[in-house]
């Protein structure tokens, strides 16, 4: 394995609901090496999304540490976390989460506007990535005018916009038919091999998990090999 990109140490996340405490993430130690492709499987409610949200700095842990490129993210201020998320991490969701009022090109350009890339550079890059995901003929389409598989391609292009080191994908093929599932799985594999982006993918589908080089199992907030 190359250098450690992310390392979690004894990571915990609790939810208190009506007097009951749920340990959604329980003492998780996980290492993501630079350029690695990992997947996580496990039953509904086992804490997979909660773990991704912690690693993606969308939520803060109740215990333990998360090191991103050796830096303890739990100590970062909100503004620093925003920058880390914007520049180092790409997110891909089951429901795509594209902005409905923006075209494919605009959706992919948006993270670069937020990152203050130059106007000419960001449009050029958005066109290039959309072409790379096979959508140069759909630049002006809105999400409602695109198929589910095409929407997920736009979402993957958006995730790549600022050249992140890590992509977190939460059931990225969960809303797709079997043909699009295969295409998206193949595309994620290409992101990993051609861009060298590390991937952490949550899935219920053993075939999708099979494209990862290592698969973890999550049960009751705890993670184990295979």
Ligand X SMILES: Nc1ncnc2c1ncn2[C@@H]1O[C@H](COP(=O)(O)OP(=O)(O)OP(=O)(O)O)[C@@H](O)[C@H]1O
**Residue 47 binding partner per list Mg ion, ligand X, none, with a CB distance cut-off of 5 to 8 Å that depends on partner kind:** ligand X
Distance in Å, CB of 169 to ligand X, minimum: 13
Binding to Mg ion (CB under 5 A) within 39-58 occurs at 49
C-beta of 17 vs 77, nearer to ligand X: 17
**Residue 46 binding partner per list ligand X, Mg ion, none, with a CB distance cut-off of 5 to 8 Å that depends on partner kind:** ligand X
Size of the site for ligand X (CB under 6 A): 12
Distance in Å, CB of 123 to ligand X, minimum: 36
C-beta of 47 vs 111, nearer to ligand X: 47
Pairing of strands 89-93, 166-170: parallel
C-beta of 35 vs 221, nearer to ligand X: 221
Task: Collapse the DSSP code of 13 into the 3-class scheme (helix H, G, I; strand E, B; otherwise coil) and give the result.
Answer: strand
Taking the CA atoms of 96, 49, 215 and 72 in sequence, report the sign of the dihedral they define. Answer: positive
Token representation of residue 104 = 């494919």
Distance in Å, CB of 26 to ligand X, minimum: 10
Sheet (strand 37-41) strand order = 89-93, 166-170, 198-202, 37-41, 214-219, 222-225
Binding to ligand X (CB under 6 A) within 13-52 occurs at 15, 17, 22, 24, 42, 44-50
Using CA atoms, how far apart are residues 167 and 37, in angstroms rounded to an integer?
9
Task: Collapse the DSSP code of 178 into the 3-class scheme (helix H, G, I; strand E, B; otherwise coil) and give the result.
Answer: helix
C-beta of 105 vs 176, nearer to ligand X: 176
Please report, for residues 113, 123, 177, 202, the alpha-carbon distance to residue 82 in angstroms, rounded to integers and kept in the order given. 14, 22, 34, 23
CA 14 to chain centre: 22
Give the contact letters, 18-37, x = binds to Mg ion (CB under 5 A), - = no.
Answer: --------------------
C-beta of 42 vs 143, nearer to ligand X: 42
Task: Collapse the DSSP code of 214 into the 3-class scheme (helix H, G, I; strand E, B; otherwise coil) and give the result.
Answer: strand
C-beta of 150 vs 171, nearer to ligand X: 171
User: Binding of ligand X at residue 215 (CB under 6 A)?
Assistant: no
Distance in Å, CB of 77 to ligand X, minimum: 23
Contact, 134 vs 156, CB < 8 A? no
Using CA atoms, how far apart are residues 224 and 217, in angstroms rounded to an integer?
5
> Residues in the site for ligand X, rule: CB under 6 A?
15, 17, 22, 24, 42, 44-50
> Residues in the site for Mg ion, rule: CB under 5 A?
49
């Amino acid at each position: 394995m190359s250098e450690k990109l992310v390392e979690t140490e004894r990571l915990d996340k609790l939810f208190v609901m009506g007097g009951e405490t749920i340990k959604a993430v329980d003492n998780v130690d996980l290492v993501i090496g630079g350029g690695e492709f990992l997947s996580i499987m496990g039953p509904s409610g086992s804490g997979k999304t909660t773990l991704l949200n912690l690693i993606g700095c969308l939520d803060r842990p109740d215990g333990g540490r998360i090191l991103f490129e050796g830096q303890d993210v739990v100590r970062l201020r909100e503004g620093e976390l925003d920058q880390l998320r914007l520049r180092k991490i790409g997110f891909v969701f089951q429901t795509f989460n594209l902005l409905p009022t923006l075209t494919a090109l605009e959706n992919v350009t948006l993270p670069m506007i937020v990152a203050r890339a130059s106007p000419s550079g960001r449009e050029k890059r958005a066109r290039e990535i959309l072409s790379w995901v096979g959508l140069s003929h759909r630049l002006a389409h809105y999400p409602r005018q695109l198929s589910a598989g095409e929407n997920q391609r736009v979402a993957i292009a958006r995730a790549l916009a600022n050249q992140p080191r890590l992509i977190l994908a939460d059931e990225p093929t969960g809303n797709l038919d079997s043909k699009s599932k295969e295409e998206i799985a193949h595309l994620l594999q290409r992101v990993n091999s051609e861009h060298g982006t590390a991937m952490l993918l949550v899935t219920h589908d053993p075939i999708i998990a099979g494209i990862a080089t290592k698969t973890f199992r999550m049960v009751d907030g705890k993670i184990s090999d295979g």
